[in-house]
Amino acid sequence: MKTLFLTLIFALTTMLTFAQTSEHLSFKDVPIDGTLDEYVSKIKKSGFSHLGTEDGTAILNGDFAGYKDCYVGVSTLKQMDLVSKIVVKFPEPNNWSFLSSNYFSLKEMLTEKYGEPSENVEKFDSFEPEDDLSKMIKVGLGECKYYAIYETEKGSIKLSIFGDISNHSVLLSYFDKLKGVDKKDRFRALKASNPSDLSLMNLFLMSLKDEDYEICEVANRLLKERGLEFKSDKW
């Protein structure tokens, strides 16, 4: 279980994040929005079991896209309790034939729904292995670069093959972040998410710490609207 948590947390914290505007992508017909506890409560009604929460990531188990026993990691923006990233980890096959078959089946499904991917890479580092076992070894060494990214008006989706020494699987990721929203739309997007004063203050302070003054300015603007404001020579 610890390995599972680490795999999903790694995926949630290292992947690129993309924008969605006033509407949100949905997972199992549940919009990717709200606090972590609120989202977990809603997704449980879709048949998922909540296994626990660790390091700000909730882990659930259930069926998805015709696959049994999938694991789902749900994570929030680091500055505030607002769900922004979801990663589905599909069952682990024990050979390349099944692993690649899962990847290409899901890719076909996504392409049919969202159109051709905006970015697609499918190769091994250094050289192309000839046999199944050699390909799985490459996956385990992190030398397999298979991914497809789909950008939509509501957010972005990434399908990929992930592997390390202990596991090999297909990941499907849904994610957005305020940083990805067009600058002119950031205030509206933040206001629409209706963060608490405490969460908004935390967003401001964490962005200030990271020297992300553009997000600082947006958070401060909403704080000012609520009767709170910070003065700075950075904006």
What local confidence, expressed as pLDDT, does residue 9 receive? 46
The listed range with the strongest mean pLDDT (4-13, 117-126, 197-206, 220-229) is 117-126
Share of the chain above pLDDT 90, in %: 46
Global pTM value: 0.70
What would the DSSP string read from start to end of 78-131? TTSS-EEEEEEE----SSHHHHHHHHHHHHHHHHHHH-S-SEEEEEESSS--SS
Residue 121 pairs with which residues in a beta bridge? 147
What local confidence, expressed as pLDDT, does residue 208 receive? 77
Average pLDDT, the chain: 82
What would the DSSP string read from start to end of 155-219? EEEEEEEEE-SS-EEEEEEEE--GGGS-GGGHHHHHHHT---HHHHHHHHHHHHHTT-HHHHHHH
| Crossing angle of the two packed helices 197-209 and 213-225, in degrees rounded to 10 | 150
Higher pLDDT pick, 223 / 189: 223
**Residue 227: band (very low, low, confident or very high) from pLDDT cuts 50, 70, 90:** confident
* Environment class of 172 (CB within 10 Å of its CB; exposed 0-12, middle 13-18, buried 19+): buried
What local confidence, expressed as pLDDT, does residue 152 receive? 81
